[in-house]
Structure 1
Amino acid sequence: MNISVLGTGSVGQALSVRLAGLGHQVFMGTRNVADSLQKTQPDNWGNPAIGTWAKEHTEVELLSFKEAVEKGNDLIVFALNGKAVFECLDAVGEAALNGKVLLDISNPLDFGQGFPPSLFVSNTDSLGEQIQNKYPGLKVVKTLNTMSNPVMVNPHILQGDHSVFVSGNDAEAKATATRLLNSFGWEDRNIIDLGDITTARGTEMVLPLWVRLYGKLQTPFFNFHVNTAKAQ
């Protein structure tokens, strides 16, 4: 497939490398290509800056948001901070988004009061729903937002079963998302279809717990497992 990954941070980088390694043509979207290529300082966690990363991963083409979606038009992956979603998608334009499947792996994190972050939407709404409502022609699937990026793209990095959730209104779009998850190594028994896009409220609200577990465990290499075995 021709896939656009919107976002140049560690999540976008991890997904782009994995997708390219699986044989997909990947187009990474950024606000400004020239500005991105000038960035060479690693982030606070030691992840490479996009300027350095892009030189080492020429199999991924770095383009503007709109150009990336125009070329990677089989599937869109939104891998930016949740606060940037409408700036990004508005730059692409509704006409280019209509009819496309968008995997939304973002979360509505608000760092306005420092760390740990709060959520800028919760309980009665979700970021996934807001995207779907603003762009009704877009087929939004919320998934992979309850774990760190190494686990997203390689579930076998952890021992045993653990779960990934899928939310969305369009059955065919969710099937596309499920096939992609399978290609990453997720087994069907661990993929839980929660229902329509309103169920993204639940997975987005997992993040406060995830952040606190990260603080306690001091590692991003963990995930949640929903055990559905019947009682004996």
Structure 2
Amino acid sequence: MAKIAVLGNGRVGGNLATALTRAGHEVTVADRTPGAAADAARAARIVINATPGAGSLDRLVALREELRDKILVDVSNATFDGPDGLPADLIYPASSLAEQLQEALPETHVVKTLNTMLFSVMTAPAALPQAPTAFLSGEDPKAKQTVRELLLDLGWREEWITDLGGIRTARATEAAILFVPHLIRSSGLAPFAISIAR
């Protein structure tokens, strides 16, 4: 069992919090207010960033002390939205939100994962008719192993998890968000995930 703080109480954060609690973890959910987020992060071993990516960097840098030596699991994508509210472009096109977080928070172990799928698939990967892929990006092997174990608790199988390497690889998975608006326009808001076929 781990003490986990989920920052963000929308569909993504709520879904993850419910599933991790069901898996036996001690989970606290904090909204975006600085006081609630600081209290939750301070008490946790693992912090999940489920806040909207456009404002995540500022919110999390404000929690520098609370995040020191913690594992920060980043599941967000930083995008500019188009007129229809769907992602239209990347905020960090030559980088990624995860890289920006790791650079700004050098004493925090940032791991990027679960950002290449609809939120419902994060906690129910077996519901898809074909095996999805969850990617891991991060500098610290122990932190990535801890996150891998969380994914297993969420229903991911070992063979569905791919470690891409260091945090710089997160720019590849974050760029996958640009598929999303086209998928939604062509087939509606149905569960989906990026899948690597081998």
TM-score by length of 2: 0.93
What's the counterpart of residue 9 of structure 2? 8
Q: After superposition, what is the alpha-carbon deviation per residue over 1:184-215, rounded to whole angstroms, capped at 9, x for unaligned?
A: 11111111111100000100000111221122
Is the 2:7–2:32 Cα contact (8 Å) retained in structure 1? no
How many angstroms apart in 2 are the aligned matches of 1:125 and 1:193? Answer: 18
How many angstroms apart in 2 are the aligned matches of 1:206 and 1:154? Answer: 20
From 81, 103, 115, the counterpart of 1:145: 115
Indicate the structure (1 or 2) with the bigger Cα radius of gyration: 1
1:115, distance to aligned residue in structure 2 (A): 3.9
What's the counterpart of residue 40 of structure 2? 68
Q: After superposition, what is the alpha-carbon deviation per residue over 1:93-133, rounded to whole angstroms, capped at 9, x for unaligned?
A: x22211110110000111265544221112x2111100000
How many angstroms apart in 2 are the aligned matches of 1:32 and 1:121? Answer: 24
What's the counterpart of residue 157 of structure 2? 187
From 103, 114, 118, the counterpart of 1:133: 103
What SS is found at the alignment partner of 1:186? coil
Give the total of aligned pairs: 196
> Residues 52-201 of structure 1: matches in 2 within 5 Å?
64-71=36-43, 73-92=44-63, 94-111=64-81, 113-117=83-87, 118-122=89-93, 124-201=94-171
Contiguous gaps of at least 5 residues in structure 1: 34-62
What's the counterpart of residue 41 of structure 1? none
Question: What RMSD over aligned residues (CA atoms) do the two structures have, in Å?
Answer: 1.6
- AA of the residue aligned to 2:192: F
Q: Percent identity?
A: 35
Taking structure 1 as reference, are residues 130 and 15 closer, same or farther at Cα in structure 2, changes over 3 Å only?
Answer: same
TM-score by length of 1: 0.80
Q: After superposition, what is the alpha-carbon deviation per residue over 1:121-155, rounded to whole angstroms, capped at 9, x for unaligned?
A: 12x21111000000000100000000111100111
Q: Larger relative contact order (C-alpha < 8 A, sep ≥ 6)? A: 2
